[in-house]
């Protein structure tokens, strides 16, 4: 399907001036080949005057947002569209206070929940794995004292980083994950989860990576100082967390922030805000609903308590002096 999106604010305002226009847009993204009933799987529906789709097969009525990240919202779609337009227009990321102001939402908490929901849509379900030549490392974010590799550190969270090396073309796509620790038991599943098997993985000589070759990867060990791509990724991530969120990241929410960073990083060369908007709306239609309890973050029991990560600009890791 041809990518169809507004190119600027004027086009955005003109295009999404009604609920009906938003529904039409979502419909094309959710059902590019026409309506498919989520209940019976049959095609074909007529629209009711309450903006529902009435299945011609089983008679069930479905809203355009049912079963998506926007499931059950009572707010106008126009407001959600504005939220997505705002978020994709922020070069470094959106925060809840900014979103609350732009949308004139009564509650900061609502703005915060909206952002968390939309961050979930920043990762495409079933996204492609990285492939080819991929550099992998881990880095700590947060905390005042340097962390020891392989062990947890108070107030810090360990992030796994995988970056494609496109050689002459430069740096490729990135994938991040919140790791429990730097043991092979965590690093190998991380790599398998984000990189296609038979790819070449470049790491330093940390023992946690020893089992990569046994897991169908070509494993190349190089000196830590030569892991240039992952070090650049780590530096940008830390700067971004610090600059955009000023340390206000809870460890149990870290994964969502990593998703937002990934979304922005992998589309950093895209000049078109409309295209990012298109991608976010499209993915919002593909991601399952997020009831509130799961928005509190995945269970990361190793980080006891919910104090914010201390994102100290002077904090440098062990050997990530960047």
Residues 69 and 117 sit within 8 Å (Cβ to Cβ): yes
Rg over alpha carbons for the chain, rounded to the nearest Å, is 21
Q: How far apart are CA 263 and CA 94, in angstroms?
A: 13
Q: Which is nearer to Zn ion, 56 or 171 (CB)?
A: 56
- Rounded Cα distance, 75 and 52, in Å: 16
CB of 162 to Zn ion, least distance (A): 41
Task: Name the residue nearer to Zn ion (CB basis): 40 or 221.
Answer: 40
Residue 60 Cβ, how far from Zn ion at the closest point, in Å? 5
Q: 29 — phi, psi (to 5°)?
A: -80, -35
Among 9, 20, 40, 213, binds Zn ion (CB under 5 A): 40
Closest contact distance (angstroms) between CB of 28 and Zn ion is 20
In the bound state with Zn ion, the residue whose beta carbon lies nearer, of 46 and 302, is 46
Contact 79, 70 (CB under 8 A): no
Long-range contacts of the stretch 261-264 (C-beta < 8 A, 24+):
261/93, 261/176, 261/236, 261/237, 262/122, 262/123, 262/174, 262/175, 262/176, 263/122, 263/123, 264/92, 264/93, 264/240
Distance CA 93, CA 245 (A): 9
Our finding on whether 58 is near Zn ion (CB under 5 A) is yes
CB of 37 to Zn ion, least distance (A): 3
Show contacts with Zn ion in window 60-99 (CB under 5 A). Answer: 60
Tell me 142's DSSP state.
S
What number of chain residues touch Zn ion (CB under 5 A)? Answer: 7
Regarding 20 and contact with Zn ion (CB under 5 A), the answer is: no
Work out how close the CB of 55 gets to Zn ion at its nearest, in angstroms, rounded to a whole number. Answer: 3
Among 22, 26, 55, 276, binds Zn ion (CB under 5 A): 55
Q: Which is nearer to Zn ion, 21 or 62 (CB)?
A: 62
CB of 265 to Zn ion, least distance (A): 40
In degrees, rounded to 5, the angle at the alpha carbon of residue 139 between the alpha carbons of residues 201 and 192 is 35
Nearer to Zn ion, 44 or 193 (CB): 44
Residue 55 or residue 153: which is nearer to Zn ion going by CB?
A: 55
Binder of Zn ion out of 57, 72, 76, 193 (CB under 5 A): 57
Q: Is 127 in the site for Zn ion (CB under 5 A)?
A: no
| 48 forms part of the interface with Zn ion (CB under 5 A) | no
Nearer to Zn ion, 46 or 108 (CB): 46
Comparing CB distances to Zn ion, the nearer of 58 and 213 is 58
CB 149 within 8 A of CB 219: no
The encoded tokens of residue 89 equal 């227009």
Q: Measured from the CB of residue 33, what is the shortest distance to Zn ion in angstroms?
A: 16
Token pair of 52, please?
């529902």
How many alpha carbons fall within 13 Å on the CB side of residue 234? 28
Contacting residues for 119 by C-beta, under 8 A, at least 6 apart:
256, 257, 259, 260
Stretch that binds Zn ion, among 39-47, 61-69, 179-187, 255-263 (CB under 5 A): 39-47
**Does position 46 bind Zn ion by CB under 5 A?**
no
Which positions lie near Zn ion, rule CB under 5 A? Answer: 37, 39-40, 55, 57-58, 60
């Amino acid at each position: 399907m041809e990518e169809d999106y507004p190119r600027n604010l004027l086009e955005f305002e003109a295009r999404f001036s009604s609920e009906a226009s938003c529904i039409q847009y979502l419909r094309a993204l959710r059902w590019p080949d026409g309506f498919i009933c989520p209940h019976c799987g049959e095609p074909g529906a007529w629209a009711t005057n309450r903006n529902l789709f009435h299945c011609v097969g089983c008679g069930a009525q479905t809203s355009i947002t049912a079963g998506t990240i926007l499931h059950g919202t009572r707010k106008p779609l126009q407001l959600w569209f504005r939220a997505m337009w705002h978020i994709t227009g922020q070069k470094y990321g959106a925060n809840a206070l900014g979103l609350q102001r732009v949308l004139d939402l009564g509650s900061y908490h609502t703005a915060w929940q909206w952002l968390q929901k939309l961050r979930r849509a920043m990762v495409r379900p079933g996204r492609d794995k990285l492939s080819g030549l991929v550099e992998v490392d881990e880095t700590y974010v947060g905390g005042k004292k340097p962390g020891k590799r392989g062990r947890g550190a108070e107030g810090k969270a360990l992030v796994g980083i995988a970056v494609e090396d496109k050689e002459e073309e430069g740096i490729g796509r990135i994938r991040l994950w919140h790791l429990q620790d730097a043991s092979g038991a965590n690093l190998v599943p991380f790599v398998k989860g984000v990189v296609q098997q038979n790819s070449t993985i470049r790491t330093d000589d940390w023992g946690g990576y020893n089992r990569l070759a046994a897991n169908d990867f070509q494993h190349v060990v190089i000196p830590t100082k030569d892991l240039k791509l992952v070090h650049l990724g780590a530096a940008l991530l830390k700067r971004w967390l610090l600059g955009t969120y000023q340390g206000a990241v809870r460890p149990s929410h870290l994964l969502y922030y990593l998703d937002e960073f990934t979304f922005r990083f992998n589309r950093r060369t895209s000049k078109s805000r409309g295209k990012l908007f298109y991608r976010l709306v499209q993915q919002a239609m593909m991601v399952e609903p997020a009831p509130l309890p799961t928005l509190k973050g995945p269970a990361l029991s190793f980080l006891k308590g919910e104090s914010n990560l201390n994102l100290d600009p002077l904090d440098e890791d062990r050997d990530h002096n960047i």
